[in-house]
Amino acid sequence: MTRRPTTSRGAAPAALAAALLALVALPSTVAAQGTDGRGTDGADYPFVPTPPEVVAEMLEMADVSGRDTVYDLGSGDGRIVVTAASRYGAAGLGVELDSSLVAEARQRAAGEGVGDRVRMVRGDLFEVDLAPATVVTLYLLPRTMAKLEAMLFRQLRPGARIVAHDFDMEEWAADSVSQTPGGLGGHATLYLWRVPARVGGTWELSVSGAPAAGERLRLTIDQKFAELRATVTRPGGLRVREARVAGDSVRLEVVADSAADGEATTLAGTVSGARMEGRTAGGAWSGRRVANSDSSLVEWQP
């Protein structure tokens, strides 16, 4: 399906948001999806099914395969995890507060012959251990998205993908945004995030290649989701011109402090916990985290 990229990352279009939010005012016979776990069996929140064509596009956007474990938070009738299992061979978990929807989802999984690969559970989405997930799918109201973003960042492994239908996160900028036919208002806006490694803290690096040849650099990195701010704290005379992280890949460009566009040492490599390493044009580099950051833009636990 052809995607039409958008340039805005704001909330869903006003008419679409109003239509969905208006459903919250419907009687409590409307079942729940996207609850914050504080209603009574989900009756205070609307269940708005994601159309099959939007489900398919969400899973394509997240590049789901048989190697993945897909978690759907606020899973409703289970259609997303069931489709992930039946079409792509993925494992999955659906978490839903409404017990009648959980029962319907289990019947759907059994009917599609994927009951051995997916689980449907009744529970609070804020109490789920997300560590096993490689893909998380969301169709949740903005207030719930805002509460979830730090939890997703802390718990998911680097490289995990998050795809959301119609509603963006509050602080974490999406890596890509697209529109596809279907859903309320005739089209759906989809948001994709790839979870970055957590690299906030103080690092000591051993580097080969000018201008940092033979140096043992000490860096402080502040992190706000995929956004980095890196500062050379030792030795003087050097600065970080660019710092990026994507999944478990990191890239730092170190230049002489006096150089506007001078020769840079590019440190490109991978992060694994408190270690990072890679190659430079003149050799290799490696680093270890010696302190967690108390000034990171987003607090996290190592």
> Domain containing 235 — which CATH number?
2.40.128
Provide the mean pLDDT of the chain. Answer: 82
> Of 162, 194, 226, which residue is a domain's last?
194
Is residue 3 predicted with pLDDT exceeding 60? no
Give the mean model confidence (pLDDT) for residues 224-248: 90
CA-derived radius of gyration, the chain: 22
C-alpha distances in Å from residue 177, one per residue of 87, 132, 142, 165: 23, 25, 16, 10
Give the structural domain span for 48.
4-194
> Of 164, 194, 224, which residue is a domain's last?
194
Q: Do both 182 and 238 map to the same domain? A: no
Helix/strand/coil percentages in the chain, nearest 5:
20, 35, 45
> Of 194, 224, 243, which residue is a domain's last?
194
Positive or negative torsion for Cα 114, 120, 125, 130: negative
Is residue 105 predicted with pLDDT exceeding 50? yes
Q: Do both 84 and 174 map to the same domain? A: yes
Q: Do both 128 and 229 map to the same domain? A: no
Q: How far is the C-alpha of 44 from the C-alpha of 27, rounded, in Å?
A: 8
Q: Does the predicted TM-score (pTM) go above 0.85?
A: no
Structural domains of the chain, count? 2
Question: What is the model's pLDDT at position 182?
Answer: 85
C-alpha distances in Å from residue 274, one per residue of 202, 216, 251, 286: 10, 17, 16, 11
Residues 6+ positions from 40 with CB-CB distance below 8 Å: none
